């Protein structure tokens, strides 16, 4: 029987660390770090996420502002709003909540965000820095996965890590971060052949697919570490991950639950990125940032 990797508890500890760093920034600069979240439309799940992010900011001593724009907002108007936030000196982080309405090309919006304020880590400059293994702002969910591995003191170097899902926001950056830490990384996706056998070879398995409980217990290597990024509703409308949790727990050494695993880490890492962005923009010495 494996252990539950309690993301909620680990995220609380990270949030406390971030709050101390935010207070340090406020003392030095005479203003708190600032995050602006832009929500287009009224998608109920997105509204909840945005509200949670604003609340988390407040608790960490970060100034969080939410801009809610109508679903009919044009791409041009959204980009103009982003440009305006780029110009505001007290704004350290800009986040455009996904999904955006279908008439807006998300990539063009990400391209418009000042890379120094790109707390989601989706700007091509930050993606490129991650690819090259250089310092930049890293997407929050994969960064949260790395922090979970660290909190559980899991050695990454030399391990076989399988990442299922290759999106720009989770799968690809997760694979890059694991590679940076010297894992041997396999990226899997919808065209991958014999996925169960591939997963069974993983010492570290990251599931970022978006299919309820697709990964079964008999896909998992005994003693593996399983990080479940997926957030799905099953047939009974219950929130579940991409991994069959109870089955996985029978086989793996560690499994993250859904909810309460990777999700809370994503928000904590967003706060971390906001303080990091504020610190760097202010030209404060990186060595004095206690994150
Ligand atoms: P995307 O839909 O962008 O990507 C899904 C990936 O899964 C694709 O690469 C796709 O492959 C792959 N895939 C789909 N079906 C299969 C299959 N049958 N076998 C193997 N691979 C498959 O999703 P995201 O990366 O944005 O999100 C993934 C999940 O994580 C979702 O449930 C989302 O809600 C959740 N999420 C959770 C976060 C958190 O904070 N916990 C944050 C962000 C996302 P292909 O490329 O070939 O189509």
Query: What domains sit in the chain, N to C, each tagged with a CATH number?
Result: 32-118 (3.40.50.10860), 140-263 (3.40.50.720)
Of 209, 256, 266, the residue with max ligand 1 atoms within 8 A of its CB, to mutate for a pocket test, comes to 209
Question: pLDDT of 25-62, one tens digit each?
Answer: 999 999 999 999 999 999 999 999 999 999 999 999 99
- Residue 208 to residue 278: CA distance in whole angstroms: 29
Percent of the chain with pLDDT over 90: 99
Distance 33 CA to ligand 1 centre (A): 31
The reported pTM is 0.97
Please state the φ and ψ torsions of residue 38, each to the nearest 5 degrees.
Answer: -110, 125
pLDDT category of residue 190 using cuts at 50, 70 and 90:
very high
Regarding the beta carbon of 169 and ligand 1, being less than 6 Å apart is answered yes
The three-class DSSP label of residue 94 is strand
Regarding the beta carbon of 83 and ligand 1, being less than 6 Å apart is answered no
Distance 210 CA to ligand 1 centre (A): 5
């Amino acid at each position: 029987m494996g252990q539950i990797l309690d993301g909620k508890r680990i995220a609380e500890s990270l949030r406390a660390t971030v709050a101390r760093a935010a207070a340090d920034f406020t003392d030095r600069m005479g203003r708190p770090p600032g995050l602006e979240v832009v929500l287009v439309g009224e998608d109920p799940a997105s509204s909840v996420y945005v509200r949670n992010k604003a609340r988390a900011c407040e608790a960490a001593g970060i100034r969080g502002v939410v801009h809610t724009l109508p679903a009919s907002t044009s791409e041009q108007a959204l980009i103009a709003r982003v440009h305006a936030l780029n110009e505001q000196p007290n704004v350290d982080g800009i986040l455009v909540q996904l999904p955006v309405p279908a008439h807006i090309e998300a990539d063009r919006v990400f391209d418009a965000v000042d890379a120094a304020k790109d707390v989601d880590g989706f700007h091509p400059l930050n993606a490129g820095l991650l690819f090259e293994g250089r310092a930049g702002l890293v997407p929050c969910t994969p960064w949260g996965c790395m922090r979970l591995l660290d909190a559980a003191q899991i050695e990454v170097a030399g391990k076989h890590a399988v990442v299922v899902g290759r999106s720009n926001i989770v799968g690809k950056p997760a694979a890059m971060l694991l590679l940076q830490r010297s894992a041997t990384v396999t990226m899997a996706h919808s065209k991958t052949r014999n996925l169960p056998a591939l997963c069974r070879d993983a010492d570290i398995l990251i599931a970022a697919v978006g299919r309820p409980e697709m990964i079964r217990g008999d896909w998992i290597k005994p003693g593996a570490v399983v990080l479940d990024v997926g957030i799905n509703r099953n047939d009974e409308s219950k929130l579940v991950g991409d991994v069959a949790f109870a089955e996985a727990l029978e086989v793996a050494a560690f499994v993250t639950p859904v909810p309460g695993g990777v999700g809370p880490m994503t928000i904590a890492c967003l706060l971390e990125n906001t303080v990091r962005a504020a610190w760097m923009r202010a030209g404060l010495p990186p060595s004095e940032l206690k994150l």
